[in-house]
Structure 1
Amino acid sequence: MKLIHIASALALSAVIGAPAFAQEIDRPECVAPAKPGGGFDLTCRIAQQGLEKQFDGPMEVTFLPGGIGAVAINLFNTTRTDDPNAIVAFSSGSLLNMAIGKYGQWGADDVRFLATAGTDYGAVIVRADSPYQSLDDLMADLEKDPGSVVMGAGGSVGSQDWMKAAILLKSKELDPRKMRYVAFDGGGDAIAGLLGGSIQVYFGDVGEMVSHLGTGEMRILAAMSPERLPAPFNDIATAKELGYDAEWPIVRGFYMGKDVPDAAYDKWVEAFNAAYGTEEWSKLVKDKGLLPLNLSGQEMDADMKKRVERMTGIAKEAGLIQ
């Protein structure tokens, strides 16, 4: 009996001394549904660094490119629907894909939205040696001939990145269907295309430029935010202040499989909520070029589903869906 009591005490001690999230989440993983270097990679790095104190071991980041998130959402609706260890990065572009049916049969009701990483904004980006020194320079050529400039981004026609370009053209009553647009499988490929010269303008996100602007290889002509962003982007003019009614806010966050046990989902929510209250999280989000947006759990899940509903309405007005 004494041995049993000792064993029980040791077991209890191990449980008490274990990290708060170890029991349901023993192999934390963030899936970035694209190749390295783009916005999904950035989103997973925030989770990896921001939650490192919440788990017993380091979070793994894996890359699953294909269909700007289509391969990932299919995987988490077939073989990994109840995986308690994995979270998947998404953005407003993912929500748009759900809204217009780009993910086939999978939509907003087929995932459990978990938590946000922060918010971001669209950006009009060129190479450092581009002849376009300003947004006005670019728009002057587009107004003469929308097909005279090769533009591209990490998404196909109708995607979030295509919508950024389309909104900018529509601000001057230009037909987006006439623009030359090259679709890449993720922001990393699109940046490589810009630097390699296969496109002249990249419609990306402000946040993903943090690690690139210091190299001197690229310039942001305008941010698609309602007002100027804080440092290090405070010197970048907004499209709006330059006279173009073109804004595109971007939410970045994470979802899980729809059959994940409540206990595991709740532990992830606890982990994010614990991180949200720290200075380290705030600094990390800022350093990655994002603005704070701290939503988690059921509130966040409901908010994202409302966003998809709104996007569905906008897509119908734009003729992207019937």
Structure 2
Amino acid sequence: MKRTTIFALIGATLITLGSQGAMAFEQSRSVTCIAPSGPGGGWDFTCRSVGRLMAELGLVRGSMQTTNMTGAGGGVAFAHVISKRAEDNALIVAASTATTTRLAQGQFAGMDHDMVQWVGALGADYGVIAVAKDSPYQNLNELMAALQQDPSAVKFAGGSAAGGWDHLKVLMAAKEAEVEGLSRITYLAFAGGAEAITQVVGGHIGAFTGDISEAMGFIESGDLRVLAVLSEERLPAPLDRFPTAREQNIDTVSPNWRGFYVPAGVSEEAYQWWNGSLDKIYASDEWKTIMEQNGLVPFHKSGPAFTDYVRDQVAEIQAISKEVGLIK
């Protein structure tokens, strides 16, 4: 009897384990990526590029559809996910530093960064501070020295709204350079980076703050001179000729990362599937080509490391925004 019971238990255990293996997570045939903008924008590019590779690399059996959902700088999509798609295992949403900036500044009313799960980042466009070719400022320290004497001495132009990421880059660098009176630094917002740069190279505004990809045409023509790239270390060639702010003893890093979040209520298996899929895409030669063709540089964080990064970035943006009076 005892022997029979033991064999029965072993058999039952093997059946249970086999059932658990058979029930391992399997993603839906078709998945959806929400781009919180209209067609042609950065979030749309992120969704469509990743969606194409999902199919090409065999990560999904069917396809990944892109749904454009505009409004409130990503706030409409964020609210939609929280209220209507909170447990959708087959949904992912494109995000960037613009997303964390708006969350940090309370622009998504009643919502915060912990109401979704952050999956990973697949590249970044790093910030730069640049001047016209005939500017008297030869490096970032000279520019910051002028601001130390008078925070309104140099006007900055950028493509984001006042209080947006382009504005914050200058404020963070100035804070690290111990400039006092950060709220007196003049920032002028334009419809895009190209328009802002045109004002700088035309001699109307003292300096440009934006992303290196939008400045490259003006840099290559010799009209714009980079004082500092706001990255951890020099960017890959041919961008390695530009010094970082850190090299100039101003410890400021400002990547405009491109990544994703998923609903808070997805299963752990689904979260791990998304995490692993994005890791595979980032490691692929196809994604490296896409990054190079679109001005992105290597930047990869995933899972808990990316979640911690987002939380730290939100905290940093909140602190600088409060200091200059953008939020209370």
**Stretch deviating more after TM superposition (287-296 or 223-232):** 287-296
Q: What's the counterpart of residue 47 of structure 1? A: 50
TM-score (norm 1): 0.69
Structure 1: tracts of 5 or more residues without a match: 1-19
Structure 1 residue 31 displacement after superposition: 1.1
Cα pair distance change 1:213/1:22, threshold 3 Å: farther
- In structure 1, what residue type is equivalent to 2:231? S
Residue 111 of structure 2: aligned partner: 106
- Counterpart position of 1:72: 77
Q: Give the superposition deviation at 1:302.
A: 5.1
1:96/1:203 CA distance change after superposition, 3 Å: same
State the 1:103 CA deviation.
1.8
Task: In structure 2, give the amino acid aligned to 1:29.
Answer: C
Please give the alpha-carbon distance, in whole angstroms, between the structure 2 residues aligned to 1:61 and 1:174: 45
1:90 is aligned with what amino acid? A
In 2, are the aligned partners of 1:276 and 1:294 still within 8 Å (CA)?
no
The more displaced of 210-219 and 175-184 is: 210-219
Could you tell me which residue of structure 1 aligns to residue 9 of structure 2?
Answer: none
Query: What is the match of residue 33 of structure 2?
Result: 29
CA distance in 2 between partners of 1:272 and 1:77 (Å) = 22
Q: Does 1:269 align with 2:275?
A: yes
Counterparts of 1:148 and 1:313, CA distance in 2: 23
Secondary structure of residue in 2 paired with 1:109: helix
Partner of 2:284: 278
Q: Residues 303 and 235 from structure 1, CA distance in 2 versus in 1: closer, same or farther, beyond 3 angstroms?
A: closer
TM-score (norm 2): 0.68
Deviations 1:112-133 (A, max 9, x none): 212221355321246xx76448
Aligned residues of 1:24 and 1:267 also touching (Cα < 8 A): no
Give the drift of 1:164: 0.7
Question: Shift of residue 209 of structure 1?
Answer: 5.5
**DSSP 3-state at the match of 1:87:** strand
Code of the residue aligned with 1:233 in structure 2: it is: L
Distance change in 2, residues 1:77/1:279 (3 Å):
same
Kept in 2, the 8 Å contact 1:27–1:85? The answer is yes
Structure 1 139/25 Cα, relative in aligned 2: closer, same or farther at 3 Å?
A: farther
Find the counterpart in structure 2 of residue 89 from structure 1.
94
| Cα distance change on mapping 1:314 and 1:140 into 2, 3 Å | closer
Where does structure 2 lack aligned partners over 5 or more consecutive residues?
1-23
Q: Pick one of 182, 193, 196 that aligns with 1:194.
A: 196
> Contact between 2:37 and 2:70, CA under 8 Å: does it hold in 1?
yes
1:167 has 2:169 as partner: no
What aligned pairs does 1:130-141 form with structure 2 within 5 A after superposition?
A: 131-132=134-135, 134-135=138-139
Question: Contact 1:25/1:84 (CA < 8 Å) preserved in 2?
Answer: no
Cα gap change, 1:169 to 1:63, in 2 (>3 Å): farther
**Whole-angstrom distance in 1 between the partners of 2:283 and 2:253:** 29
Report how many aligned residue pairs link the two structures: 294
Return the match for 1:156 from 148, 162, 174: 162
Deviation string for 1:49-88 (max 9, x for gaps)? 5434223455455554544332332232234444444422
Of the two, which has the highest radius of gyration? 2
What is the one-letter code of the residue matched to 1:269?
N
Q: CA deviation at 1:316?
A: 5.5
Secondary structure in 2 aligned to 1:291? strand
Q: Does 1:290 align with 2:297?
A: yes
Bigger mean CA offset, 41-50 vs 96-105: 41-50
Q: 1:72 to 1:138 in 2, by over 3 A?
A: farther
One-letter amino acid of the structure 1 residue matched with residue 103 of structure 2: M
Pick aligned residue for 1:122 from 118, 127, 131? 127
| Identity in percent | 28
Q: Which amino acid aligns with 1:235?
A: R
Please say if 1:224 is aligned against 2:230.
yes
Aligned partners of 1:153, 1:318: CA distance in 2, in Å? 19
Q: Tell me the residue number matched to 1:4.
A: none
